[in-house]
Amino acid sequence: MKINSNYLNLQENYLFSTVAKKVNDYTKANPDKKVIRLGIGDVTRPLCPVVIDAMQKAVTEMGNADTFRGYGPEQGYDFLRLSLQGYYSKKNVSLELGEIFISDGAKSDLGNILDILGQDNKVAIPDPVYPVYADTNIMSGRTITYLDANEENKFLPLPDENTDADIIYICSPNNPTGAVYNYDQLKQWVDYANNHDAVILFDAAYELFITSPEYPRSIYEIEGAKKCAIEFSSFSKTAGFTGTRCGYTVIPFDLIRENVTLNKLWLRRQTTKFNGVPYIVQRAAEAVFSPEGQKQIMESIDYYRQNAAIIVKAMNDMNIWFTGGTNSPYVWFKCPNNMMSWDFFDLLLTQANVNGTPGSGFGKNGDHFFRLTAFGNKENTQEAMERFKKLIG
């Protein structure tokens, strides 16, 4: 028996476990210090009341023989797909129900999608990047080329004459950089993909953080995208479902490669390897789209937005170059004094007792950058930025 030796090519430590270990070691050694965590991407606000109500009602249904549900449709219940169809229509995107697949979160589908994409494709992934895109490709033995995201292009790489890719990963608003593609920029990628028979894997997990009208919240707002893009999204960051687990993937019927509809391949994949998201969770997700649900989730998002604004103000006050923070829960900034990101991580942790995420964990272009998140609480975010300012002088 041979193992999948591609796994040996992965970096030994997953970024967040290294960060967690360093923070735990520090807090154990310094129990009197209050470390403020602005590092992780997990949310902190609870599920909103209408979601809890819907979940409880669904739990009751499951305990009654007349309303009990066993296996559900692998691709999701129609009630939730209808809600999503309505949600997309508000973005002027019309989808058929069969184009929407309910998932247990964007991460799983972003990894699993590789099942239906040929092994020999040239894969282009931005650097820095959400580590899942790169790691899942390494696990499957694919060769990656990196698209340089840097200060010069404001961390929004665009196709040029050297671009050579069959599969392109785009995350907008971006994790970790908080940068967001505008309509014109995203159109350049859509045109590239359509002209080169490539496919865009578009991660819209943070779409609801967008407030400015110049940024699309779905790639399908761009003309031609249904012929070249798969969209992944999630209730995790928009409605606090990180622990509840629900997301969705859209594969338009128009997306055809080698005369095969990718939607059909994905349906075959899902019906074979996936048994759907729990009924209770899908009812909870459906409640997000009720008028009250929309109002309640926006309260939490507004709360995070205010935290982001606190970080942005501090960056401006300190004259530090950064991206994100508006239209995004992430602020990505240049380490003061050109420090390396892990050195700055140690400095910030030990001297200011603030925990963030070193940019190099997201790729080589993050070596001198650092990520803070808006998912903490307001008082802590405020205090963290005061400590940061004191540290930098």
The site for ligand PLP (CB under 6 A) is made up of 41, 105-107, 130, 171, 175, 203, 205, 234, 236, 242, 247
User: Cβ 324 to ligand PLP, closest distance in Å?
Assistant: 12
Q: How far is the CB of 318 from ligand PLP (least distance, A)?
A: 26
Q: Which is nearer to ligand PLP, 352 or 374 (CB)?
A: 374
Torsion, Cα of 188, 190, 191, 193 (10° steps): 120
83, 54 contact by CB (below 8 A): no
Output the smallest distance, CB 41 to ligand PLP, in A.
4
Give the residue with the Cβ less far from ligand PLP, 128 or 336. Answer: 128
Residue 59, C-beta contacts closer than 8 angstroms, at least 6 positions apart: 280
Residue 124 neighbours by CB distance under 10 Å: 22
Is the omega angle on the peptide bond into residue 176 within 30 degrees of 0, that is, cis?
A: yes
Cβ closest to ligand PLP, residue 177 vs residue 360: 177
Query: Assign residue 319 a region: left if phi > 0, alpha if psi is -120 to 50, beta otherwise?
Result: left
Query: Per 3-state DSSP, what percentage of the chain is helix, strand, and coil (rounded to 5)?
Result: 45, 15, 40
Instruction: Specify the residue for token string 């009654």.
Output: 64
Q: Which is nearer to ligand PLP, 10 or 15 (CB)?
A: 15
Closest to ligand PLP by CB, 43 vs 352, is 43
Strands (E), 27-116: 36-37, 100-103
